[in-house]
Amino acid sequence: MSKGLAIMTSGGDSAGMNPAVKCCVEYARKQGYIPYLVYDGLRGLIDDHIVEATRELTSGILHRGGTVLRSSRSKRFFELQYRQQAYDNLQRRGIGQLIVIGGDGSFNALNQFYNDFQVPFAGIPATIDNDIPGTDYCLGVDTALNMIRQSVDSIRDTATSFSRAFVIEVMGRHCGYLAMVSALSSGAEVCIIPELPYDLDSIGARLIEEKKNGRTYVLAIVAEGTRMSEHFTRWLSDSMQMDARLTVLGHVQRGGSPTVHDRIMAYKFSVAAVDSLRSGNTNAIMTFRDGTFGSVPIETVTSSKYRIDSDLLKLCEPLSR
């Protein structure tokens, strides 16, 4: 077995990636591997941005958001000649295994790489969308939720001061997880997500009744995947006769120092990834289900559709009607 093990981050960045990089390097070294770092994601594999991981390179990164290894999306990686180039770069250094910290797109890319050249890899789920099938949690989610919570709490101060309605759009691609948890944890009056049908007439009737009973402000959390933020803001202003404002949180949700939860999860995912490769798994994705760490084959991820916890959906149903 080759002793070279390369660690890379790919796709959208998320807090927790840096702690995972640090832990992968340190734990792999203890297991007898020679750890390497791949900078610039898939592009770095092709362009040979690969260096041996020294202690200096991974020192002082635990508290940093984003990824010090940087990331990229590479169209060239879809062409065999460039994957061959990436493989040759690994071969020259004696790197026979990979750990990729990212989302399903990154896992699919590495799976194609495995099919071409039989380079085993382990995947660590890291995306604030929390939409990877097979795992209940992905790195970066807790930090993103805390960034949203801080923003929503600040917006509420203005909402109460001026008796306004605020619509807050959060990220999540086509998954409403961030919006749901943020709405529940912030006490929002409305939550609109792709996974639940919403009834504007019912929402309006409910809010008007609450306004009669003393409500002076409204907070609504809308998932970006619904494409409803601007329309709902206008509707809220017209139906409630309130000054309604839209705040799009955008990429601030990706940043921030990783929370304690994300740091610990990063360590546990990283240990699982290294152990998975040591045990002979070739293309496994690390998972956290029902409080237990495990792994699933990449085929399980690619052939399944992510589904939000039904209990969470039930909690949010009253906010959508």
Sign of the dihedral defined by the CA atoms of residues 246, 250, 253, 256, in that order: negative
Q: How far is CA 75 from CA 18, 79, 103, 132, in A?
A: 25, 8, 16, 22
**Is the CB of residue 252 less than 8 Å from the CB of residue 171?**
no
CB 133 within 8 A of CB 44: no
Q: What is the DSSP code string of 44-75?
A: HHHHT-EEE--HHHHTT-TT--S-TT-----G
Task: Give the list of residues 6+ apart from residue 36 with CB closer than 8 angstroms, or none.
Answer: 4, 5, 6, 7, 50, 51, 52, 53, 93, 95
Whether the Cβ atoms of residue 51 and residue 39 lie closer than 8 Å to each other: yes
Q: Which of 40, 129, 131, 262 is catalytic?
A: 129
The size of the chain, in residues, is 321
Query: 10 Å Cβ neighbour count for 214?
Result: 6
Q: Per the structure block, which two tokens stand in for 76?
A: 């060239």
How many CB atoms lie under 10 A from the CB of residue 267?
Answer: 19
Determine the distance from the C-alpha atom of residue 227 to the mean position of all C-alpha atoms in its chain, rounded to a whole number.
20
130 close to 142: Cβ distance less than 8 angstroms? no
Are 140 and 14 in contact, with CB atoms under 8 Å apart? yes
For residue 129, indicate whether it is catalytic: yes
**Which residues are registered as beta bridge partners of 287?**
294
Which residues are part of the catalytic machinery? 129
